[in-house]
Structure 1
Amino acid sequence: MDLKDKITTLKGIGPKKGKVLSEHGIKTIEDLIEWFPRRYEDRRRETPICDVKQGKDYLVCGKVISRRQSGNPYNKRAPLSLLINDDSGMIEIVFFNGKYLSGAFNVNSKYSFYGKVSENMGRMQMIHPEFHQYGEKGDIRGIIPVYPTIEGISQNEMRKIQAQVSPAIESVREWLPENIVTEYKLADPVFSLKNIHFPKESRYVLMSRFRLVFDELLTLETGLIYVKNDNAAKKNGIAINTGRSEEFINNIGFKLTEGQTRVWSEVAKDLESTGVMNRLIQGDVGSGKTAIAEIAMYVTVCNGYQAVMMAPTEILAKQHYVTLTEAFREYNLKIGLLCGSMKPADKKEVLDRLGTGEIDILVGTHAIIQPGVKFNRLGLVITDEQHRFGVEQRHRLSEKGDDPNIMVMTATPIPRTLAVILYGELDISVIDTMPAGRKPIRTIAAHQEDRGLVYDKVRKELVKGKQAYVVAPLIEESEKIDAKSASELFAELQKLFKDYKVGLIHGSLPQEQKDAVMDAFVKGEIDVLVSTVVIEIGINVQNATVMVIENCERFGLAQLHQLRGRVGRGNDQSFCYLIINNETDIAAERVKIMCESTDGFQIAEEDLRLRGPGEIFGTRQHGLPEMRISDIVRHADVLEKAKNAANSLLASDPDLRSTDNAELRNRIEKMFGGDIRLEI
């Protein structure tokens, strides 16, 4: 058995199960070995039946003293009931749909059972526990791994599959230098992989987990530091004289906030230098990041260079195009727009003008990074809502010029703990003040039974001539998920607000239709916009003063904050109503935080605490590779050790060319996918 073999070569994994596993990134034996348990159940000690308590999980062992099949014994749904005795007491074991188990138990034979105890009519019960004949091979006792849930594959099946591939672990070789293994007291990789799945002792779990977490964080840090070093090696950047920034700032129509002034001075210092600017601008919703971008673009064009701004959606790109066209109208700057949905003839015209230098500033989506897009003299690259782009996409955009200055912006507040890791190759600036006159958005929690009152409040805003957003977590109704859909809400609100114009927008609509709906809402032709999270970022309609988020428990804190930021863009008091359908403890805590705070950075810290980085930044879409076993917040101490080891490795082998580092190089390329290319 080879680590690169497909999982379908294993017993019990046919095409159907293979497809399910593949959807979770498990395609090879190696992938399967790296599907680590999320926790363990300690089943080493039997509990006397007389000591079990309702609501807890136990391992009990005893003899079957009676076996009864209720109802029609030929009906496969007929329940099977066993009475188990261990000399201290009795417990009932129940299996619904029990016909398939009717021959699995013999009266007077001893079995082990593990499951949650409940009480029924004064009798202790276990319903559908795991079981095994006592003392037989494969008994359920021991330290038992519990894996992340995969629909259609039970825990027992996953354990059997993992047991099959255990021999393949023997082929894993030590891949870290001896000095690092010794310095950080790392366990052997074979020992670690075997004991992370089927530990013999609880201390072996800790030893194994430390090694595997260290491996993963070392791979992450080495990859990020490699990118940073690679950027730093590009010493000859484009120096921009920022002297004419004052004329633009004085004519901008408002006074820059203290935060904006500080951040602009940091950006200006970068632009003036001969090195390449690589700066992240973080700022909460409405803090004025776009103004900083406009100043930087203006001075860049004044120096004879072009600027480009890339946005993640066409809606946001078109909004930036309109905003920049207006901002630079009196300066006679030529602004171009490039989006995937444009007609070929229109695209060609833009590309021709861009190539000759007629266009000073280009705004667009990822269509900008396509091979045929050529600039005449690119000096500044800006990506907006940059967490939506991977490392490689940012690089491809910067490669459109000769080491242009790079500015990346995000309105998604990111705790500094994560920002340093996510954007390790960038200098970080934070706009931490808001424009004067902005009123904090009032956030109000409501339950399903209060929906009528919420929509009465919406009507009051509509009567004033204001507009409203209503956000749903789904596009269409779902049998599996108990939540409002945008289509369902659209139909409901059309009847409720029949005197007003109600619009619908979601990600599955054709681009032309989305643009038409958004344009109508911006112009005030739509009063109530029903939407999914497609309106989460960037949309700026100052007349919208009320936001209703249905099934708010289905959104994370950071996402709720982004959605709320679509209102409160003008000087009128704005409102955000969070309607709860399924009130879990975490949902209640999220809503409480949202109602008490409008500080995006505080909310991001709380989101990190409640959900962890895996859920927030767990996909490559957000710039950070998926972590299999580590948590960059919970394992901060290991992260620091891994970072030191990564710096040590790269200091002696900057490009990882050594054969000793071949496995590390492979792991980095596997972790980051196309986001990092190591030049060997």
Structure 2
Amino acid sequence: MTTRSPLEEVKGVGPAAAKLFGQLGIETIGDLIHYYPRRYDDYSHLQQIKSIKPGHITIKAEIKQITGRYVRRGMHITEAIASDETGSVRLVWFNQPYRANGMKSGQSYFISGTFELTHQKMAIMNPSTERESDFPVNTARIVPIYRETKGLKSAQIRKAVKSVVSLVSTLPETLPSWVTKDNKLMSRSDAVLAMHFPDNSQVLDQARERLGFEELFELVLTAQLIKRDALDEKALAIPFKQKLAASFVSHLPFKLTDDQKRTVWQIYQDMQRESPMNRLVEGDVGSGKTVVATMAALMAMEQGYQVAFMAPTELLARQHAETIYNLLEPLGYAAQVSLLVGSMKPRQKEQARDHIKSGRVRFIVGTHALIQEKVDMHKLGLVIIDEQHRFGVEQRTKLQTKAGHMPHVLSMTATPIPRSLALTVYGELDISIIASKPKDRLPIKTTLISPNSRAELYERVDEQISAGRQVFVVCPLVKESLALAKTKSAQEVHKTISQGPFKHRKVGLLHGQMKGEDKAKVMQAFLDREYDILVATTVIEVGVDVPNATVMMIENADRFGLAQLHQLRGRVGRSQHQGYCYAILSDSQAPSKRLRAFAQTTDGFRLSELDLELRGPGAIYGTFQHGQLDLRIARFTDTKQISLARNAARRFIESHESLLQYKYLAARVHKLRAITTLN
């Protein structure tokens, strides 16, 4: 039996049980060994019967007598008396008739359960019991509690893990010996065993530290290896033309912020080198990232190189193309901007492709499908990726093949990334931050609204519409759900407000289940002010710019993460007009710490740190962290451990150790390199 053996080789796991384990992603013995508990119940403190108090307790006692009987409507009750030298206590089990035959009078057992009042008498209810002579799994210890599935309980998973304990002790070491020694880490086999059956809480902490360190080390090492490899690639060096940059800035209808100036300068320095740029620009919502990207593109276009700008949706691609056209028009470069998106007619597409091939068009704006399109981009000098996409190894290779060289890559995101994530998940990127917003922007006023205050809120919102402004209403669901009774759906809210409080207004509906072209039509109609109110799901979360929209109403705000709430709030207040965000709660109870923080600050970086603390990386990046990155133990809030893992990874690379001599580590790095998207 090895870690690769199928689960059915484990004693007591037949085909039916194996199927249930499979639902938890456990197919092999190795999967079982690395299926860590989600929490622990501490039954390690043994008490004497005379000193037990209501609550979770563990005793060591002898069974004096045990009986079972059926009572009303077929219910079965098993009762026993357990005694130690200090006294006796009653044990009660419901509908577990096998207990009477499974326990023997006169034998000593570890007994763990809840001591509570039942039918006017105190008893230990439905306790776990194990003979003193056996290795205890469910009693007299810190007991692991696993994520379960219907028909498969933690006790069965514990039993299966117990039967392969001998195999755990043979697990090979996966980290270099100097890494474990320098960082005072326990061996891998000891750590895995302690995760399932810790002797005490200190040992459990050491196990978490060891395995968490390993996960972070793998992640950081991968990022640093990608960064090192990128330095070996060759890019087209794009010189900085100061007069051209000054001319562009002089035609802007606003002044660049200091953050924008600094970021542009960092990009220009990167692009002058022959090693390809791989920079991420983090700009809080509405901080002016498109202007920075256009300034970068201008230098490439001036050299006769092409620029590919990839947006997450067609609607955004169209909006970006228009913005970029207007920014470049005063300099005479607007004619070189072209849009290439899926919904264009075949003849339009063909014409755009011909213009790109001939070099007449140098700035191509489209969706991520641009690199799949049959487009000849032999002069591609710069790629700009806006939102949602992490530009990974696969895409880089694809572009390199298409262009014959490695273009400079500039990624942009409006999701502020906490520093700890920036050092790990995004470790291969150079990062620029645009925190300040244009001076004419007023901070958005955020208010938490009780559902009882709707009438008053609707009056306030109607005043804004009367003043010529527009309103977003965002709902968590598309249609009603029985499972989520108090949760508002976009269809339901659209019907309610268009027939009720806002029947005198024009109300539109937009959600993710609509066809792409229908979504684009509705959004365009809202931009053209054909609707006063747009009821939507989170499809409007990323990037859509409607300067005339000043009100964002978020239904069931407590159902959204902080990062998502902040993105939604950023859809309004994008002009000189005051923006308002109303977060409507699901009920009249006191708002959570998360929502209070959301109302108190508009600093996206502060909110992202708090979201990471409260809800983990998934809150910021959808489900990537435990799905693709497969992080089970590591905590991104542990900056000390991240720092130690970074130092170890740096030393590993500098020492020129061969990754191939560490098979497990090499396999993990290979897998992590292949991950290219975060959303």
TM-score past 0.5 threshold = yes
Q: CA deviation at 1:572?
A: 1.7
Match of residue 352 from structure 1: 354
1:176 maps onto 2:205 in alignment: no
Q: CA deviation at 1:666?
A: 1.0
Task: Choose the corresponding residue for 1:132, options 129, 132, 137.
Answer: 129
Match of residue 230 from structure 1: 229
Match of residue 385 from structure 2: 383
1:417 maps onto 2:416 in alignment: no
Match of residue 525 from structure 1: 530
Deviates more, 1:218-227 or 1:267-276: 267-276
Distance 1:11 1:469 in 2: 58
Match of residue 594 from structure 1: 598
Distance 1:622 1:169 in 2: 23
Q: What is the SS of the residue equivalent to 2:649?
A: helix
The answer as to whether partners of 2:626 and 2:632 remain within 8 angstroms in 1 is no
Q: CA deviation at 1:565?
A: 0.7
Pair 50,515 (structure 1): closer, same or farther in 2 beyond 3 Å? farther
Pair 568,562 (structure 1): closer, same or farther in 2 beyond 3 Å? same
Pair 118,361 (structure 1): closer, same or farther in 2 beyond 3 Å? farther
- Which residues in structure 2 correspond to 1:404-553 (within 5 Å)? 404-482=407-485, 483-496=487-500, 497-553=502-558
Distance 1:659 1:267 in 2: 36
What letter corresponds to residue 283 of structure 2 in structure 1? G
Q: CA deviation at 1:113?
A: 5.2
Deviates more, 1:253-262 or 1:80-89: 80-89
The answer as to whether partners of 1:472 and 1:549 remain within 8 angstroms in 2 is yes
Distance 1:564 1:622 in 2: 27
Q: CA deviation at 1:509?
A: 1.9
Task: Choose the corresponding residue for 1:363, options 359, 362, 365.
Answer: 365
Distance 2:16 2:355 in 1: 52
The answer as to whether partners of 2:562 and 2:607 remain within 8 angstroms in 1 is yes
Per-residue CA deviations over 1:449-494 (Å, capped at 9, x if unaligned) read: 3334333333332233322112222223333334222232222223
Q: What is the SS of the residue equivalent to 1:516?
A: helix
Distance 1:673 1:130 in 2: 47
Match of residue 72 from structure 1: 73
Per-residue CA deviations over 1:536-573 (Å, capped at 9, x if unaligned) read: 11011111111111222221111111111111112222
Q: CA deviation at 1:357?
A: 2.1
Match of residue 666 from structure 1: 667
The answer as to whether partners of 1:312 and 1:365 remain within 8 angstroms in 2 is yes
What letter corresponds to residue 504 of structure 2 in structure 1? D
Q: CA deviation at 1:398?
A: 6.0
Pair 397,549 (structure 1): closer, same or farther in 2 beyond 3 Å? farther
Distance 1:391 1:584 in 2: 47
What letter corresponds to residue 232 of structure 2 in structure 1? A
Distance 1:19 1:353 in 2: 57
1:147 maps onto 2:146 in alignment: yes
The answer as to whether partners of 2:618 and 2:624 remain within 8 angstroms in 1 is no
Match of residue 283 from structure 2: 283
The answer as to whether partners of 2:494 and 2:509 remain within 8 angstroms in 1 is yes
The answer as to whether partners of 2:444 and 2:573 remain within 8 angstroms in 1 is yes
Distance 1:542 1:19 in 2: 54
Q: CA deviation at 1:372?
A: 3.4
Distance 2:588 2:82 in 1: 40
Match of residue 629 from structure 1: 633
Q: CA deviation at 1:422?
A: 2.7
Q: What is the SS of the residue equivalent to 1:328?
A: helix
Q: CA deviation at 1:112?
A: 5.6
| Corresponding pairs, count | 664
Distance 2:11 2:103 in 1: 29
What letter corresponds to residue 600 of structure 1 in structure 2? G
Q: What is the SS of the residue equivalent to 2:185?
A: coil
Pair 153,99 (structure 1): closer, same or farther in 2 beyond 3 Å? closer
- Which residues in structure 2 correspond to 1:13-32 (within 5 Å)? 25-32=25-32
Q: CA deviation at 1:43?
A: 1.2
Q: CA deviation at 1:615?
A: 4.5
Q: CA deviation at 1:382?
A: 0.8
The answer as to whether partners of 2:4 and 2:28 remain within 8 angstroms in 1 is yes
TM-score by length of structure 2 reads 0.87
Q: Which stretches in structure 2 are left out of the alignment for 5+ residues?
A: none
Q: What is the SS of the residue equivalent to 1:260?
A: helix
Q: CA deviation at 1:85?
A: 6.2
Per-residue CA deviations over 1:69-105 (Å, capped at 9, x if unaligned) read: 55312xxxx474858665657567464xx37778678
Pair 598,203 (structure 1): closer, same or farther in 2 beyond 3 Å? closer
Per-residue CA deviations over 1:271-305 (Å, capped at 9, x if unaligned) read: 33444322221111111111111111122212211
What letter corresponds to residue 662 of structure 1 in structure 2? K
TM-score by length of structure 1 reads 0.87
What's the C-alpha RMSD, in Å, of the aligned pairs?
A: 3.4
